[in-house]
Amino acid sequence: MARRAEHRDAPADRERGLADAPDTDALAAALTAGGLAVLDGFVPPPLVRGLIDCAHRRRDRGEFQAARIGAQRQLRLRERIRGDRTCWLEEPVFAEERSLLHELEQVRLRVNRAAFLGLFDIEVHYAWYPPGAGYARHLDQLHDGQQRVVTVILYLNEDWEPGSGGELRIFEARGHRDIEPVAGRLVCFLCDGLEHAVLPTPRDRLSITGWFRRRVSA
């Protein structure tokens, strides 16, 4: 199943696009220093709208499935723990999705240069939470492997108001931090040891979620 986009590191002078902004370097630095980085306006409103339209087209085609927890043969449907529906980005992808994948690739390259994490590829899916759904406290690192290194989330929720619910809750040593799922906002964090949750949302909540991965020897 082709859920991943594999890339070779490209020369710096070939990098072009939204992720060339200095803020992306700051994001890589924050991720390296503290394990968590937030960048607002990572993609402009027209691309946000285009990605939302792509998600609607995929949903109309029946490509979204109820998300499950676990790994491989132990996958289970547990809506009380996780209530979103997901759709993996697989070829063929829409033009807007390809544009986003290109920008995420630039982030991967910059994070690799800043932190030497050995990030090799990315797996990406849409996550659509219907009203009332959330995701209980969990880790993104799978029990049967260490491939996932950095979680990447792009939010696609236009006109999101403070207090609308659906925040990403990051659990820290002395409490927690809530991050609102505002359209165009990119959140990156290290998978290892960082527990998080999605608070119940009173309205539809859409994001594109992925993981920068590294090769793991058999």
pLDDT tens digits for range 70-82:
444 444 444 567 8
pLDDT tens digits for range 188-217:
999 887 899 999 989 999 999 999 998 876
Q: How confident is the model at residue 15 (pLDDT cuts 50, 70, 90)?
A: very low
Residue 11 is assigned to a structural domain of this protein: no
Residue 6 is assigned to a structural domain of this protein: no
DSSP string, 176-194: EEEE---TT-EEEEE-TT-
Residue 5 is assigned to a structural domain of this protein: no
- For residues 128 and 64, what is the distance between their CA atoms, to the nearest angstrom? 8
Averaged pLDDT of the chain: 83
Q: How many domains does the chain have?
A: 1
The answer to whether residue 57 scores a pLDDT higher than 60 is yes
Residue 3 is assigned to a structural domain of this protein: no
Residue 201 is assigned to a structural domain of this protein: yes
- Three-state secondary structure of 114-180: HHCCCEEEEEEEEEEECCCCCEEEECCCCCCCCCEEEEEEEECCCCCCCCCCCCEEEEECCEEEEEC
Quickly tell me which residue has 């991967």 as its tokens: 108
CA neighbor of 145 nearest in space, from 99, 61, 213, 205: 213
- Dihedrals phi, psi of 84, to nearest 5 degrees: -85, 170
pLDDT tens digits for range 87-122:
999 889 999 999 999 999 989 988 888 888 889 899
The answer to whether residue 7 scores a pLDDT higher than 60 is no
pLDDT value for 84: 92
The answer to whether residue 2 scores a pLDDT higher than 90 is no
- Are 49 and 158 contacting, i.e. CB atoms less than 8 angstroms apart? yes
- Are 88 and 124 contacting, i.e. CB atoms less than 8 angstroms apart? yes
CATH number for the domain that contains residue 103: 2.60.120.620
Residue 46 is assigned to a structural domain of this protein: yes
- Are 97 and 148 contacting, i.e. CB atoms less than 8 angstroms apart? no
pLDDT value for 155: 98
The answer to whether residue 21 scores a pLDDT higher than 60 is no
pLDDT value for 145: 60
CA neighbor of 171 nearest in space, from 151, 192, 135, 195: 195
CA neighbor of 64 nearest in space, from 211, 207, 213, 212: 207
Q: How confident is the model at residue 218 (pLDDT cuts 50, 70, 90)?
A: low
- Give the mean model confidence (pLDDT) for residues 42-68: 94
CA neighbor of 210 nearest in space, from 132, 59, 107, 64: 107
Domain that holds residue 28: 17-214
For the chain, give the percent of residues with pLDDT over 70: 80
Angle (CA) 164 26 30, round 5°: 70
Residue 85 is assigned to a structural domain of this protein: yes
pLDDT value for 143: 53
Bridge partners, 36 (sequence order): 189
pLDDT value for 207: 98
pLDDT tens digits for range 119-160:
989 999 999 999 999 999 988 776 556 688 999 999 999 999
Residue 12 is assigned to a structural domain of this protein: no
Q: What is the SS3 assignment for 63? A: coil
pLDDT value for 112: 87
pLDDT value for 74: 44
